[in-house]
Amino acid sequence: MFRDVKRDRRPRHPTGTAAGVTAGILVAALAGIAALAPVYYLTDAAARALRAGQAAFAPAPAGLAYLAAVAVLVTLLSARPAAALACGLPLAAAGALFALDLDAAIGAAGTLPWAHDGGLPWQAAPGGAPWAEPGEPPGTLAGTSGLYALLGALLVLPALLPARWRSILNG
């Protein structure tokens, strides 16, 4: 029955046409760029919550929740190398800037959105205290503690590995 069916022996890309592959890489890179702000701000919120818990010598469940959200985002991004690179390279660069020149990093962080009055939408109540403390713009605590460098490395290094060495979960 199947002897009469001829097999198409033209070489094919495993994920489809070349245009489809390019579009997939572009969409993944855009997803990585879109995830950069949530990863940046959630990481800093986690660092601040953990610092507050340490200062109060009390548990910090909010810090754990923020770190879990960052872990979910990083796991999702790591499935596509283009997304991981688009999010991980700026994070690694921010981590390197905090490690090498703290004053320049704080100055750059001070220009970010939500660095002034009002703070982050999920942190500051209307008319309440600003989320960003004076002299400590968003990202300062996470940057100085090395979290951005760590997250950037966790995203970038596996994305640079050959496809056969990456996890089987990536597809």
| Banded model confidence at residue 33, pLDDT cuts 50, 70, 90 | very high
Q: What is the pLDDT of residues 43-64, one digit of tens each?
A: 998 998 999 899 999 999 999 9
With a cut of 60, say whether residue 15 has pLDDT above it.
no
Interatomic CA distance for residues 5 and 36, integer angstroms: 50
In a domain, 141, yes or no: yes
Interatomic CA distance for residues 118 and 128, integer angstroms: 8
In a domain, 170, yes or no: no
Q: How many domains does the chain have?
A: 1
In a domain, 114, yes or no: yes
Comparing CA positions, the residue from 25, 44, 33 lying closest to residue 148 is: 44
Q: What is the pLDDT of residues 82-96, one digit of tens each?
A: 999 999 999 999 999
In a domain, 112, yes or no: yes
In a domain, 63, yes or no: yes
DSSP sequence for 43-94: HHHHHHHHHHHHHHTS--HHHHHHHHHHHHHHHHHHTSHHHHHHHHHHHHHH
The single-letter code of the amino acid at 33 is I
Structural domain of residue 30, as residue ranges?
Answer: 19-160
In a domain, 5, yes or no: no
In a domain, 2, yes or no: no
